[in-house]
Structure 1
Amino acid sequence: MYRFVPFFLLVLAACSTTDPIVEVPDRTPPAAYPNHSLEQIRQSVAVSGGAVRTYAVDGDIQIVSPDRDDSATHSVRSRIADSTTATIRGPLGITVARALVTPDSFLVHNRFAGELVVGRVETADRFLPGAGSSELFARAVLGLLAPDESTWQVTPREGTYLLSDRRADGSRRVLIVDPSIWRVTQAQEIDASNRVVADQRFSQFETVEGITFPRRVVLTAPQDGLRVTMEHARIVPNPADLRLRFERPDDVDVVVVE
Structure 2
Amino acid sequence: MTRERALSALSMALCMSLCVAGGFAAGCAGSSRTAGSATVPFDAVVLSVERNQDALTSLSGEGELRVETASFSQGGDLDILLRKPDTLQITVKGPFGIRVGNALVTRTNFQFYSTMQNRLYTGRTTAENMRKTLRIDLTFDDILALFTGGRFLAGDRTSPDEIGVDGGDAVFTFTGGEYGRRYVVDPSTKLIRRIYLIDNDGAPMIEQAFADFQTVGGVTIPRTITITQHQSRQRFTLRYGQITTNTEHIQFTFSAPGNAERVELK
TM range (shorter): 0.7 to 0.9
Residues 159-170 of structure 1 aligned to structure 2 (within 5 Å): 159-169=168-178
Q: Do the aligned partners of 1:162 and 1:176 also contact (CA within 8 Å) in 2?
A: yes
Change (3 A) 1:224 1:128: same
Residues 108-257 of structure 1 aligned to structure 2 (within 5 Å): 108-121=112-125, 122=127, 124=130, 132-146=138-152, 148=154, 149-153=157-161, 154-169=163-178, 171-247=179-255, 249-257=257-265
Whether 1:79 and 2:83 are equivalent positions in the alignment is yes
Take 1:221 and 1:199, find their aligned partners in 2: how far apart are those partners? 7
Take 1:97 and 1:129, find their aligned partners in 2: how far apart are those partners? 23
**1:182-240 C-alpha deviation (Å, 9 max, x unpaired):** 21110011123544221101111222234322111110111112110011001111112
What's the C-alpha RMSD, in Å, of the aligned pairs? 2.9
Percent identical among aligned pairs is 21
Q: 3-state SS of the aligned residue for 1:240? A: coil
Change (3 A) 1:216 1:128: farther
Measure how far apart 1:177 and its partner are.
1.2
Corresponding pairs, count = 235
Measure how far apart 1:52 and its partner are.
0.4
TM-score, length basis structure 1: 0.79
**1:149-178 C-alpha deviation (Å, 9 max, x unpaired):** 343233244332211111244x21111111
- Structure showing the higher helix proportion among its residues: 2
Q: Do the aligned partners of 2:82 and 2:144 also contact (CA within 8 Å) in 1?
A: yes
Higher deviation after alignment, 143-152 or 47-56: 143-152
Aligned equivalent of 2:68:
64
Whether 1:96 and 2:105 are equivalent positions in the alignment is no
Aligned equivalent of 1:26:
none
Take 1:157 and 1:100, find their aligned partners in 2: how far apart are those partners? 38
Could you list the runs of 5+ residues in structure 1 that have no partner in the other structure?
12-32
